[in-house]
DNA sequence: AACGCTGTCAACCGCCCTCGG
DNA sequence: GCCGAGGGCGGTTGACAGCGT
């Protein structure tokens, strides 16, 4: 049995919203709050799908939406966050107050992606656009060094940050004494996953609980996590990202070459979009 | 003025995840 | 544990405006 569609096709209106529809939706949400999107058409008489109502509100009608062009600062942040997170637009938007995921996605697709590709002229480099499950991307696993145009490429701080999801950086902590990043031995000792074909891959450790339990197993203590308030794992990553930005990437400079060898799979998006931050 | 090309952005589509019964 | 409803998300589409020829 197939899944029931969110609304009956043919009964619902499509296309651009009218000023009257906007007013009806805004008045309703102002009075009753967000949520229960599917009840809105029934309650208001709007001939719009609940999902359409949600989208209209979140992307256009919300009072805190910021209008106008993306500023250079915002653009810089988008590029860095995209290098870190890939196409997880909602997470990126969460770091840009007043901007919506749709707006950032559009801006990236129409402006940034083309421009950066042009600047770097590296069309052959893997881009994450077609990665279906971006929360668990199957990122290819090159070594920490690449040969290109006869130059030896060494991961710079930007590349290290791009690998945060896989490197699992930790807050500065005397136990690990590793600056901002997890001890390489632990990274190398991440648990593995086995798919239906029996292929083994490194665990992405997509939740904070995964990471926490692994750290406790390795270090015998949960002090690292107890001392920091991370409401979500993404916040955890962002706090690390912010700390690196605030420090002007200097917190990455203490790495020895041996540390770099422990870096996990590199996000190629960051390689192509931040080539100026590669040491060639 | 007419046409075509390009950029922009709102909106839709379909997949996925979560949660409650 | 299973299933369906509800909602979130990223990819894509299509309308429209602006610009150049």
Do residues A227 and A129 make contact, with C-beta atoms less than 8 angstroms apart? Answer: no
- Quote the CA–CA distance of A131 and A1 in Å, as a whole number: 29
- Quote the CA–CA distance of A269 and A38 in Å, as a whole number: 37
Residue–nucleotide distance: A36 CA to B20 C1' (Å): 15
| Cβ within 7 Å of nucleic strand B, residues | A 13-17, 48-49, 51-52, 55-56, 59-60, 102-103, 105-107, 109-111, 114, 132-133, 135
Do residues A93 and A101 make contact, with C-beta atoms less than 8 angstroms apart? Answer: yes
pLDDT at A238: 58
Do residues A78 and A96 make contact, with C-beta atoms less than 8 angstroms apart? Answer: yes
Full set of structural domains in chain A with CATH:
19-61 (1.10.10), 72-123 (1.10.10.60)
Spans of chain A below 50 pLDDT = 1-5, 122-208, 215, 224-225, 227-233, 248-280
Please check whether strand C approaches the CB of A90 to within 7 Å.
yes
pLDDT at A121: 54
pLDDT at A69: 82
Do residues A219 and A225 make contact, with C-beta atoms less than 8 angstroms apart? Answer: no
pTM of structure = 0.56
């Amino acid at each position: 049995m197939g899944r029931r569609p969110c609304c009956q096709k043919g009964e619902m209106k499509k296309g651009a919203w009218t000023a009257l529809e906007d007013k009806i939706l805004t008045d309703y949400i102002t009075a009753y709050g967000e949520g229960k999107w599917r009840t809105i058409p029934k309650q208001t008489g709007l001939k719009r799908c609940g999902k359409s109502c949600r989208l209209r509100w979140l992307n256009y009608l919300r009072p805190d939406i910021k209008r106008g062009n993306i500023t250079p600062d915002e653009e810089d942040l988008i590029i860095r966050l995209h290098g870190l997170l890939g196409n997880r637009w909602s997470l990126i938007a969460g770091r840009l107050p007043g901007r919506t995921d749709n707006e950032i996605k559009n801006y990236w697709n129409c402006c940034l992606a083309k421009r950066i590709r042009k600047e770097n002229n590296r069309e052959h480099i893997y881009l994450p656009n077609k990665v279906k499950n971006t929360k668990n991307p199957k990122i290819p696993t090159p070594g920490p060094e690449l040969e290109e145009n006869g130059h030896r490429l060494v991961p710079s701080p930007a590349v290290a940050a791009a690998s945060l999801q896989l490197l699992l950086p930790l807050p500065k902590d005397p136990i690990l004494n590793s600056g901002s990043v997890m001890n390489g031995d632990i990274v190398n000792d991440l648990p593995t996953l086995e798919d239906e074909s029996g292929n083994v891959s490194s665990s992405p450790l997509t939740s904070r609980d995964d990471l926490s339990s692994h750290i406790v197993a390795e270090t015998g203590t949960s002090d690292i996590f107890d001392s920091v308030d991370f409401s979500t794992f993404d916040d955890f990553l962002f706090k690390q990202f912010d700390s690196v930005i605030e420090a002007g990437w200097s917190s990455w400079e203490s790495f020895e070459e041996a540390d770099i060898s422990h870096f996990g799979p590199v996000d190629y998006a960051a390689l192509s979009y931040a080539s100026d931050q590669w040491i060639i």
